[in-house]
Amino acid sequence: MIPEIGHFLLIVALGVAVLQFLVPSWGVWKRDARAMAVGQSAAQVQFALVFLSYLCLTWAFVQKDFSVTYVAANSHSDLPLIYRISAVWGAHEGSLLLWMLMLSGWTGAVSVFNRRLPADITATTLAVLGAISIGFLSFMLLTSNPFDRHFPVPADGKDLNPLLQDPGLIIHPPMLYMGYVGFSVAFAFAIAALVSGRLDGAWARWTRPWTTTAWLFLTMGITLGSWWAYHELGWGGWWFWDPVENASFMPWLVGTALIHSLAVTEKRGLLKSWTVLLAIIAFSLSLLGTFLVRSGVLVSVHAFATDPARGVYILGFLAVVLGSAFSLYAWRAPKLKSEGDLAFFSREGLLLLNNVFLVVAAAAVFLGTLYPLFVDALGMGKISVGPPYFNAVFIPLTAPLAVVLGLGMAVGWKRAKFKEVVRQLRWPAALAVVLAIVLPFLWVDGNSFAVFGGVLLGCWVLLTSVHDLWGRVRAKRSLLNGLSSVPRSVWGMTMAHIGLGVWVLGVAFVSLYSVERDVRLAPGESAELHGYQYFLRGVEPVRGPNYDADRGTVEVTRDGTSITILHPEKRLYRAQQSVMTEAAVDESPIRDLYVALGEPFDNGDWSLRMYYKPAMQLVWWGGFIMFFGGILAASDRRYRLAKLAQAPVEADGKVSA
Amino acid sequence: MTKRQKRMAAVLLLLVGLSVAAVLGFTAFSKNMMYFQTPSDIAAGQLPEGARIRLGGLVEKGSVQRGDGLVVNFSVADCDANLPVRYEGILPDLFREGQGVVAMGHMEGKTFVADEVLAKHDENYMPPELAEKLTTPDGKHSCAQFKSMGG
């Protein structure tokens, strides 16, 4: 009964979404205030319906209702409760329901928090979100209903994909989806700006916190995904330039560009049509990501759907959304006039440069991800490009970005003197050079051009961020006074940049100083890796709730003293009879010691994969710091005050910092 | 410079930057492009010694032989040909005899030397490229009998 209720609620939600699209659109056209207001209540009702429907599916999982096809395919009576709850988004149908929940949640939030916006802007925004909602709800109801039943009811489920039975995977998909779907709000705002023809500082100020929020979730989602791959896939890698990873990384790059161009649009009234274009592209890439991941075009752990009808539907939906958005853009964007001009050596000039680099980097990733698919579709052969391509293109494109970032914070809006900036930044620059020479000695006796370059860029970003903050604090009477006077948005920016610096440092060290060794050991034997001795003490069978495992005991010593005892596992999940590698890692900020079990040999030997990974943690810390920076920036008082401002929109247009 | 000249200069600079990026991108692309090959392709084609290849096929039943340390020899086959493969390292969890596999590496004489072996995420996984090449015009996999063939 409960699954039928869930199904029914989705159908009702589709009806409400149609209302949410049509009535406010008509209201905007006829300038009818009552019709425009319908969008808000429709958005809230829709959220309630989808949320209840989501609970119905969760209930079916918790109750182990294997008569529901989706539950039977992704759960098992031995599956622990926490994984039964997270299994809701463990495969295609349920993850779409999660996507819908996020979308209706974002829409509901827009309807609640943006009451003070001009009625026509809110109405258009909600109508656009309603249209997206129609697309996804009908997709779900037509091709991928999670509530379908099947008979006869199987005695037990097929179990959740063992790869997904990991704490990292409980929160990775919701975070990622929050980010993906969040860009739909920026998209809807952009469409509203095009329809109304009004795009000014106030518009940018409404859009900024929404975009930043979407971005921070996407940042967290990507970081968690990477963390999961590192621990769960057993290869010791954290980024593979896999098409599915790229699908989440492209919207991130463009979203980052969007955050920066929104800043220029708000403060200086420039780059208006560019900002709108970025908002459209960011959302398009989110949709494209969904298409790539869910259509079965790519074979990977994420590719759930192999039903061609689904791929065709998403592709059609993508075509409709992009077609109408870009047509509207081509028609209306020329009306968006910039207020003033842009000097190259100014903050807005450097931010534009930052945008160019980010977008070109996204384009390079796009090329490497999609070109093989195009070639295949045209029947010109099967090709692929691996990580070497992405590294060769991505690093030269992002290194200048780091340099520009440091300059950009020191340069003022409108116009700046080059000499003055050089004078300001001479100390951070000198310190960065010194650190780039010295820091690598923490790990090895020596330095190389690549390490020097990476550390230099990382330190440069870090130090210029701190320097900028210090400059703001120093201008005040006391330290405390200074620190408390810095607005949250500035704290957020500084944190996000510091996070990036930390991340760059981590990436530089871990990619250049990692040491890997595959060995074959008998119990009692040991192998040496980068000064550490790894003793294989033994391998014993253990029994988990829904798997059997071989559990290794590996003691790591250095100069005779024991450092840690690691327990890597090789698990055989009973229901699917699939084998999983559970790596064991001893983590510290300086280095990770990583051990994974390979395979047993007939004579009792085991193969082991051992890694020494310097500064691996900095990569995760970088992501988390960016995430917190995003939270600070999005929660700045300014945005909340802006909502209360009763002043007419146009009067607020030319704000300068 | 007048405003117009400045703007032209900026646009020019942007174009130069974009073309550099494009050249960089396409060079890296063509350098790192790998074609997918099956054992029959390799038997038929004249590949330069040392060219990097993605080899796809099925691991022949009974062909897996362990050597010293982590050296492992096996044979990858499609319907018409097979190819001996040498690999030193840890095989992925899903590596099985009779299952699909993708190996990255190069030819040394008559042997394919792999530096990376992938068998992805799914028991029944077969690289889509391979599945396609094994499909007969009437849409069926033609190698069912092959999978049980002795090596």
Give me chain A's average pLDDT, please.
Answer: 87
Q: Which residue has the tokens 């990097």?
A: B52
% pLDDT > 70, chain A: 94
> Using an 8 Å Cβ cutoff, are A193 and A203 in contact?
yes
Residue A620 CB-half CA count within 13 A: 20
Q: B33 in contact with A at a CB cutoff of 8 Å? A: yes
The bridge status of strand B53-59 relative to strand B65-66 is unpaired
Do A344 and B10 lie within an 8 Å CB cutoff? yes
CA distance A12 to A380: 46
Contacts of B91 (CB under 8 A, 6+ apart): A598, A599, B72, B117, B119
Task: Show residues of chain A in contact with B134, CB under 8 Å.
Answer: none
CA distance B57 to B100: 6
pTM reported for the whole predicted model: 0.89
Q: Which CATH architecture has domain B36-147?
A: Beta Barrel (2.40)
- How many Å lie between the alpha carbon of A580 and the closest alpha carbon of chain B? 7
CA distance A299 to A305: 10
pLDDT tens string A265-324: 998 888 888 999 999 999 999 988 877 776 556 544 444 445 667 777 878 888 999 999
Window A:347-366, CB contacts with B under 8 Å: 356, 360, 364
Amino acid (1-letter code) at residue A280? I
Do B28 and A388 lie within an 8 Å CB cutoff? yes
Using CA atoms, how far residue A51 sits from A20, A105, A230, in Å, is: 17, 8, 33
Q: Please report the beta strands in B28-79, taking only residues with DSSP state E, as ranges in sequence order.
A: 33-37, 53-59, 65-66, 71-77
CA distance A237 to A226: 9
pLDDT tens string A253-268: 999 999 999 999 998 8
Return the residue in B55, B122, B126 with the most chain A beta carbons within 10 A, the one to mutate for interface testing. Answer: B122
CA distance A224 to A419: 42
Q: How many CB atoms lie within 10 A of CB A238?
A: 22
Contacts of A212 (CB under 8 A, 6+ apart): A259, A492, A630, A633, A634
More confident call, B96 vs A82: A82
Do A392 and B32 lie within an 8 Å CB cutoff? yes
Alpha-carbon Rg of chain A, whole angstroms? 26
Using CA atoms, how far residue A510 sits from A345, A395, A506, in Å, is: 35, 15, 6
pLDDT tens string A145-173: 999 998 888 888 888 888 788 887 788 88
Q: Which residue has the tokens 């592709």?
A: A315
Question: Does position A379 have pLDDT exceeding 70, yes or no?
Answer: no
Do A601 and B66 lie within an 8 Å CB cutoff? yes
Where are the alpha helices (H) located in A269-346, listed in sequence order? Answer: 272-294, 308-332
Helix (H, G, I), strand (E, B) or coil at A526: strand
Domain A164-335+344-379 class in CATH: mainly alpha
Return the closest-CA partner of residue A199 out of A385, A39, A336, A383. Answer: A336
Q: A341 in contact with B at a CB cutoff of 8 Å? A: yes
- How many Å lie between the alpha carbon of B35 and the closest alpha carbon of chain A? 5
Contacts of A375 (CB under 8 A, 6+ apart): A381, A382, A383
> Using an 8 Å Cβ cutoff, are A365 and A390 in contact?
yes
Q: B34 in contact with A at a CB cutoff of 8 Å? A: yes
CA distance A13 to A16: 5
Beta bridge partners of residue A540, listed in sequence order: A551
More confident call, A200 vs A5: A5
Helix (H, G, I), strand (E, B) or coil at B60: coil
Which residue in A367, A384, A576 is closest to B34 by CB distance? A384
ipTM above threshold 0.85? no
Do B128 and A299 lie within an 8 Å CB cutoff? yes
DSSP A462: H
Return the residue in B18, B33, B41, B94 with the most chain A beta carbons within 10 A, the one to mutate for interface testing. Answer: B33
Specify the pLDDT at position A245.
86
pLDDT class of A633 with cuts at 50, 70, 90: very high
Helix (H, G, I), strand (E, B) or coil at A164: helix
- How many Å lie between the alpha carbon of B101 and the closest alpha carbon of chain A? 13
Q: Which residue has the tokens 């008998």?
A: A522
More confident call, A195 vs A337: A195
> Using an 8 Å Cβ cutoff, are A396 and A295 in contact?
no
Do A299 and B31 lie within an 8 Å CB cutoff? no
Q: Which residue of chain A is at minimal alpha-carbon distance from B69?
A: A520
Q: How many CB atoms lie within 10 A of CB A143?
A: 18
Amino acid (1-letter code) at residue A382? K
Return the closest-CA partner of residue A339 out of A10, A655, A622. Answer: A655
Alpha-carbon Rg of chain B, whole angstroms? 22
DSSP B135: B
Examine residue A568 and say whether the peptide bond preceding it is cis (omega within 30 degrees of 0): no
Do B21 and A360 lie within an 8 Å CB cutoff? yes
More confident call, B123 vs A85: A85
Return the residue in A384, A391, A547 with the most chain B beta carbons within 10 A, the one to mutate for interface testing. Answer: A384
Do A367 and B35 lie within an 8 Å CB cutoff? no
Helix (H, G, I), strand (E, B) or coil at A649: coil
Using CA atoms, how far residue A106 sits from A49, A100, A180, A206, in Å, is: 14, 10, 11, 14
A413-441 b/e (C-beta count within 10 Å ≥ 16 → b) = bbebeeeebeebbeebbeebeebbeebbe
Return the closest-CA partner of residue A13 out of A123, A136, A126, A111. Answer: A136
pLDDT tens string A483-529: 888 889 899 999 999 999 999 999 999 988 889 899 999 999 999 99
Do A598 and B25 lie within an 8 Å CB cutoff? no
The distance from CA B117 to its chain's CA centroid, rounded to whole angstroms, is 9
Task: Show residues of chain B in contact with A234, CB under 8 Å.
Answer: 93
Q: How many CB atoms lie within 10 A of CB A326?
A: 15
The bridge status of strand A532-543 relative to strand A547-558 is antiparallel
More confident call, A367 vs A187: A187
Phi, psi (rounded to 5 degrees) for A639 = -70, -35
Quote the tokens at residue A173: 């998909």
Return the residue in A382, A577, A601, A609 with the most chain B beta carbons within 10 A, the one to mutate for interface testing. Answer: A382
Return the closest-CA partner of residue A309 out of A324, A294, A289. Answer: A294
Phi, psi (rounded to 5 degrees) for A621 = -60, -40
Question: Does position B107 have pLDDT exceeding 70, yes or no?
Answer: yes
pLDDT tens string A440-458: 888 877 778 888 999 999 9
Specify the pLDDT at position A278.
95
CA distance A603 to A417: 73
Do A300 and B121 lie within an 8 Å CB cutoff? yes
Please count the residue pairs, one from chain A and one from chain B, whose beta carbons lie less than 8 angstroms apart. Answer: 93
Q: B21 in contact with A at a CB cutoff of 8 Å? A: yes
Which residue in B21, B32, B125 is closest to A385 by CB distance? B32
> Using an 8 Å Cβ cutoff, are A594 and A556 in contact?
no
Phi, psi (rounded to 5 degrees) for B56 = -125, 145
Which residue in A371, A384, A518 is closest to B89 by CB distance? A518
Q: Give the pLDDT mean for A91-104.
A: 92
> Using an 8 Å Cβ cutoff, are A139 and A317 in contact?
yes
Q: Which residue of chain B is at minimal alpha-carbon distance from A304?
A: B122
Specify the pLDDT at position A83.
93
Specify the pLDDT at position B127.
53
Domain ranges for chain A, please list them. 1-160, 164-335+344-379, 397-513, 515-617
Specify the pLDDT at position B138.
52
Specify the pLDDT at position A165.
85
DSSP B91: P
Q: Give the pLDDT mean for A335-358.
A: 83
Phi, psi (rounded to 5 degrees) for A543 = -120, 120
Question: Does position A476 have pLDDT exceeding 90, yes or no?
Answer: no
Q: B121 in contact with A at a CB cutoff of 8 Å? A: yes
Task: Show residues of chain A in contact with B36, CB under 8 Å.
Answer: 381-384
Contacts of A524 (CB under 8 A, 6+ apart): A535, A536, A537, A538
DSSP B56: E
Which residue in B3, B90, B120 is closest to A607 by CB distance? B90
Question: Does position B145 have pLDDT exceeding 50, yes or no?
Answer: no
pLDDT class of B81 with cuts at 50, 70, 90: confident
pLDDT tens string A561-607: 999 999 999 999 888 788 888 889 999 888 999 999 988 888 889 99
